[in-house]
Structure 1
Protein backbone atom coordinates (compact mmCIF):
# COMPACT_ATOMS: atom_id res chain seq x y z
CA UNK A 1 0.00 0.00 0.00
CA UNK A 2 1.42 3.38 -0.95
CA UNK A 3 1.79 6.18 1.59
CA UNK A 4 -0.78 8.20 -0.36
CA UNK A 5 -3.41 5.46 -0.18
CA UNK A 6 -2.67 4.78 3.48
CA UNK A 7 -2.98 8.49 4.33
CA UNK A 8 -6.26 8.82 2.44
CA UNK A 9 -7.76 5.77 4.12
CA UNK A 10 -6.68 6.98 7.56
CA UNK A 11 -8.32 10.40 7.11
CA UNK A 12 -11.76 8.84 7.26
CA UNK A 13 -13.48 11.82 5.63
CA UNK A 14 -15.61 11.77 2.52
CA UNK A 15 -14.84 14.01 -0.47
CA UNK A 16 -17.73 15.60 -2.37
CA UNK A 17 -16.90 16.17 -6.05
CA UNK A 18 -19.21 18.68 -7.75
CA UNK A 19 -18.65 18.76 -11.51
CA UNK A 20 -21.17 18.94 -14.35
CA UNK A 21 -18.85 17.46 -17.00
CA UNK A 22 -19.29 13.73 -16.56
CA UNK A 23 -15.89 12.70 -17.96
CA UNK A 24 -13.98 15.12 -15.74
CA UNK A 25 -16.04 14.05 -12.72
CA UNK A 26 -15.46 10.35 -13.43
CA UNK A 27 -11.69 10.82 -13.88
CA UNK A 28 -11.39 12.75 -10.64
CA UNK A 29 -13.61 10.38 -8.68
CA UNK A 30 -11.67 7.35 -9.98
CA UNK A 31 -8.34 8.93 -9.01
CA UNK A 32 -9.55 9.86 -5.53
CA UNK A 33 -11.04 6.42 -4.93
CA UNK A 34 -7.82 4.80 -6.16
CA UNK A 35 -5.99 6.98 -3.64
CA UNK A 36 -8.19 5.57 -0.87
CA UNK A 37 -10.77 8.32 -0.41
CA UNK A 38 -14.48 7.73 -0.03
CA UNK A 39 -16.11 9.95 -2.67
CA UNK A 40 -19.63 11.22 -3.30
CA UNK A 41 -20.56 12.83 -6.61
CA UNK A 42 -22.89 15.68 -7.55
CA UNK A 43 -23.49 17.02 -11.04
CA UNK A 44 -24.34 20.54 -9.88
CA UNK A 45 -24.50 22.72 -6.78
CA UNK A 46 -28.19 22.00 -6.14
CA UNK A 47 -27.45 18.28 -5.85
CA UNK A 48 -24.36 19.07 -3.79
CA UNK A 49 -26.48 20.89 -1.20
CA UNK A 50 -28.73 17.82 -0.91
CA UNK A 51 -25.62 15.65 -0.42
CA UNK A 52 -24.17 18.05 2.17
CA UNK A 53 -27.44 18.01 4.13
CA UNK A 54 -27.70 14.22 4.07
CA UNK A 55 -24.08 13.17 4.59
CA UNK A 56 -22.44 14.60 7.73
CA UNK A 57 -19.07 12.91 7.11
CA UNK A 58 -18.20 15.08 4.08
CA UNK A 59 -14.87 16.65 4.97
CA UNK A 60 -13.83 18.47 1.78
CA UNK A 61 -15.73 19.78 -1.26
CA UNK A 62 -14.21 20.09 -4.73
CA UNK A 63 -16.44 22.14 -7.00
CA UNK A 64 -16.36 23.51 -10.49
CA UNK A 65 -17.43 27.14 -10.90
CA UNK A 66 -19.65 27.12 -13.98
CA UNK A 67 -22.45 24.57 -13.78
CA UNK A 68 -26.13 24.40 -14.64
CA UNK A 69 -28.64 24.84 -11.84
CA UNK A 70 -29.83 27.62 -9.57
CA UNK A 71 -26.34 28.45 -8.23
CA UNK A 72 -22.77 28.05 -9.46
CA UNK A 73 -19.67 26.92 -7.59
CA UNK A 74 -19.16 30.32 -5.96
CA UNK A 75 -22.80 30.26 -4.85
CA UNK A 76 -22.18 26.83 -3.35
CA UNK A 77 -19.16 28.19 -1.48
CA UNK A 78 -21.31 31.01 -0.09
CA UNK A 79 -24.04 28.55 0.94
CA UNK A 80 -21.42 26.38 2.63
CA UNK A 81 -19.93 29.35 4.47
CA UNK A 82 -23.40 30.12 5.82
CA UNK A 83 -24.26 26.52 6.75
CA UNK A 84 -21.06 24.48 7.20
CA UNK A 85 -18.17 26.90 7.39
CA UNK A 86 -15.64 24.38 8.69
CA UNK A 87 -15.46 22.35 5.48
CA UNK A 88 -12.58 23.26 3.13
CA UNK A 89 -13.58 24.05 -0.45
CA UNK A 90 -11.44 23.59 -3.53
CA UNK A 91 -12.70 25.59 -6.51
CA UNK A 92 -11.86 24.40 -10.03
CA UNK A 93 -12.32 26.44 -13.16
CA UNK A 94 -11.26 26.59 -16.76
CA UNK A 95 -11.90 30.32 -16.64
CA UNK A 96 -10.12 33.04 -14.73
CA UNK A 97 -11.39 33.65 -11.22
CA UNK A 98 -11.39 36.91 -9.32
CA UNK A 99 -8.01 37.25 -7.56
CA UNK A 100 -9.69 38.26 -4.28
CA UNK A 101 -12.21 35.39 -4.18
CA UNK A 102 -10.33 33.64 -1.36
CA UNK A 103 -10.42 36.79 0.78
CA UNK A 104 -14.18 37.10 0.37
CA UNK A 105 -14.72 33.47 1.32
CA UNK A 106 -12.09 32.13 3.73
CA UNK A 107 -13.41 28.57 3.44
CA UNK A 108 -12.03 28.44 -0.12
CA UNK A 109 -8.68 26.83 0.47
CA UNK A 110 -7.46 26.45 -3.10
CA UNK A 111 -8.34 27.44 -6.63
CA UNK A 112 -7.27 24.92 -9.28
CA UNK A 113 -7.15 25.98 -12.90
CA UNK A 114 -8.22 23.37 -15.43
CA UNK A 115 -6.70 21.31 -16.77
CA UNK A 116 -5.31 19.85 -13.57
CA UNK A 117 -3.92 16.40 -12.87
CA UNK A 118 -6.30 14.33 -10.71
CA UNK A 119 -3.35 12.75 -8.88
CA UNK A 120 -2.24 16.23 -7.81
CA UNK A 121 -5.71 16.83 -6.36
CA UNK A 122 -5.41 13.60 -4.36
CA UNK A 123 -2.06 14.70 -2.93
CA UNK A 124 -3.44 18.15 -2.10
CA UNK A 125 -6.39 16.55 -0.28
CA UNK A 126 -4.02 14.51 1.87
CA UNK A 127 -2.30 17.77 2.88
CA UNK A 128 -5.63 19.46 3.71
CA UNK A 129 -6.77 16.56 5.85
CA UNK A 130 -3.41 16.36 7.63
CA UNK A 131 -3.50 20.10 8.40
CA UNK A 132 -7.03 19.85 9.81
CA UNK A 133 -6.02 16.96 12.06
CA UNK A 134 -3.07 18.89 13.52
CA UNK A 135 -5.15 22.02 14.27
Structure 2
Protein backbone atom coordinates (compact mmCIF):
# COMPACT_ATOMS: atom_id res chain seq x y z
CA UNK A 1 0.00 0.00 0.00
CA UNK A 2 1.55 3.30 -1.04
CA UNK A 3 1.00 6.85 0.21
CA UNK A 4 -1.73 7.40 -2.39
CA UNK A 5 -3.91 4.60 -1.04
CA UNK A 6 -3.14 5.06 2.66
CA UNK A 7 -5.25 7.51 4.62
CA UNK A 8 -3.62 10.90 5.16
CA UNK A 9 -2.61 11.81 8.71
CA UNK A 10 -3.45 15.15 10.31
CA UNK A 11 -0.87 16.02 12.98
CA UNK A 12 -2.05 18.55 15.56
CA UNK A 13 0.69 19.85 17.84
CA UNK A 14 1.28 23.41 19.03
CA UNK A 15 5.03 22.97 19.64
CA UNK A 16 6.68 23.58 16.24
CA UNK A 17 9.71 21.32 16.76
CA UNK A 18 7.63 18.41 18.05
CA UNK A 19 5.18 18.88 15.17
CA UNK A 20 8.03 18.98 12.64
CA UNK A 21 9.51 15.76 14.07
CA UNK A 22 6.11 14.05 13.95
CA UNK A 23 5.54 15.16 10.34
CA UNK A 24 8.99 13.87 9.34
CA UNK A 25 8.47 10.55 11.15
CA UNK A 26 5.03 9.94 9.63
CA UNK A 27 6.07 11.08 6.14
CA UNK A 28 9.10 8.76 6.27
CA UNK A 29 6.71 5.92 7.18
CA UNK A 30 4.99 6.49 3.83
CA UNK A 31 1.97 8.59 4.78
CA UNK A 32 0.74 11.89 3.39
CA UNK A 33 0.53 14.45 6.17
CA UNK A 34 -1.19 17.69 7.05
CA UNK A 35 -0.23 19.73 10.07
CA UNK A 36 -2.01 22.12 12.39
CA UNK A 37 -0.96 24.09 15.46
CA UNK A 38 -4.46 24.27 16.98
CA UNK A 39 -7.81 22.52 16.99
CA UNK A 40 -9.40 25.33 14.99
CA UNK A 41 -6.76 24.98 12.27
CA UNK A 42 -7.22 21.18 12.34
CA UNK A 43 -10.98 21.43 11.81
CA UNK A 44 -10.47 23.79 8.87
CA UNK A 45 -8.04 21.29 7.30
CA UNK A 46 -10.44 18.40 7.84
CA UNK A 47 -13.20 20.36 6.11
CA UNK A 48 -10.88 20.99 3.15
CA UNK A 49 -9.08 17.63 2.80
CA UNK A 50 -11.39 14.63 2.59
CA UNK A 51 -8.44 12.20 2.40
CA UNK A 52 -7.63 12.64 6.11
CA UNK A 53 -8.33 9.31 7.75
CA UNK A 54 -6.18 9.57 10.88
CA UNK A 55 -6.00 12.32 13.50
CA UNK A 56 -2.78 12.38 15.54
CA UNK A 57 -3.19 15.02 18.23
CA UNK A 58 -1.52 16.33 21.34
CA UNK A 59 -3.79 17.19 24.27
CA UNK A 60 -2.41 20.48 25.59
CA UNK A 61 -2.71 23.31 23.08
CA UNK A 62 -4.01 26.85 22.94
CA UNK A 63 -7.27 27.86 21.30
CA UNK A 64 -10.93 27.11 21.69
CA UNK A 65 -10.43 23.42 22.48
CA UNK A 66 -7.75 21.02 23.64
CA UNK A 67 -6.86 17.73 21.95
CA UNK A 68 -9.45 15.68 23.84
CA UNK A 69 -12.25 18.05 22.83
CA UNK A 70 -10.91 18.07 19.27
CA UNK A 71 -10.91 14.27 19.25
CA UNK A 72 -14.53 14.19 20.48
CA UNK A 73 -15.53 16.75 17.83
CA UNK A 74 -13.84 14.72 15.09
CA UNK A 75 -15.47 11.50 16.34
CA UNK A 76 -18.90 13.18 16.14
CA UNK A 77 -18.40 14.94 12.80
CA UNK A 78 -16.20 12.41 10.97
CA UNK A 79 -16.91 9.04 12.65
CA UNK A 80 -14.64 6.94 10.37
CA UNK A 81 -11.52 8.97 11.23
CA UNK A 82 -9.13 7.00 13.44
CA UNK A 83 -7.92 8.99 16.46
CA UNK A 84 -4.51 8.79 18.11
CA UNK A 85 -3.90 10.97 21.17
CA UNK A 86 -0.42 11.66 22.53
CA UNK A 87 0.45 13.54 25.71
CA UNK A 88 3.16 14.00 28.27
CA UNK A 89 0.58 14.84 30.95
CA UNK A 90 0.20 12.45 33.85
CA UNK A 91 -3.02 11.41 35.55
CA UNK A 92 -5.18 11.65 32.43
CA UNK A 93 -8.73 10.36 32.62
CA UNK A 94 -8.88 8.17 29.55
CA UNK A 95 -12.61 7.77 30.09
CA UNK A 96 -12.91 11.26 28.56
CA UNK A 97 -11.31 10.04 25.30
CA UNK A 98 -13.67 9.21 22.42
CA UNK A 99 -14.49 5.55 21.84
CA UNK A 100 -11.79 3.78 19.87
CA UNK A 101 -9.11 6.43 20.41
CA UNK A 102 -5.57 5.15 20.91
CA UNK A 103 -3.26 6.78 23.44
CA UNK A 104 0.53 7.09 23.47
CA UNK A 105 2.32 8.74 26.39
CA UNK A 106 5.15 11.11 25.49
CA UNK A 107 7.91 10.51 24.87
CA UNK A 108 6.76 7.93 22.34
CA UNK A 109 9.06 6.17 19.90
CA UNK A 110 8.85 6.44 16.13
CA UNK A 111 8.50 2.65 16.03
CA UNK A 112 5.39 2.75 18.27
CA UNK A 113 3.64 5.39 16.18
CA UNK A 114 4.57 4.05 12.76
CA UNK A 115 3.57 0.49 13.73
CA UNK A 116 0.20 1.81 14.88
CA UNK A 117 -0.26 3.82 11.67
CA UNK A 118 0.58 0.82 9.48
CA UNK A 119 -1.89 -1.32 11.43
CA UNK A 120 -4.58 1.33 11.02
CA UNK A 121 -3.88 1.70 7.29
CA UNK A 122 -4.52 -2.01 6.78
CA UNK A 123 -8.10 -1.37 7.96
CA UNK A 124 -8.53 1.07 5.07
CA UNK A 125 -7.08 -1.48 2.60
TM-score by length of 1: 0.84
Is the contact between residue 62 and residue 89 of structure 1 (CA under 8 Å) also seen in structure 2? yes
Q: Does residue 56 of structure 2 align to residue 62 of structure 1?
A: yes
Q: Does residue 99 of structure 2 align to residue 106 of structure 1?
A: yes
Match of 2:121 in 1: 129
Unaligned runs of 5+ in 2: none
Quick check: which one's helix share is greater? 1
Unaligned runs of 5+ in 1: 1-6
Of 16, 22, 26 in structure 1, the residue corresponding to residue 16 of structure 2 is: 22
What is the alpha-carbon distance in structure 2 between the residues aligned to residue 42 and residue 10 of structure 1? 21
SS in 2 for 1:111: strand
TM-score by length of 2: 0.91
Pairwise CA RMSD: 1.5
Q: Does residue 68 of structure 2 align to residue 74 of structure 1?
A: yes
Number of equivalences: 124
Q: Which has the larger radius of gyration?
A: 1
List 4+ stretches of structure 1 deviating above 3 A. Answer: none
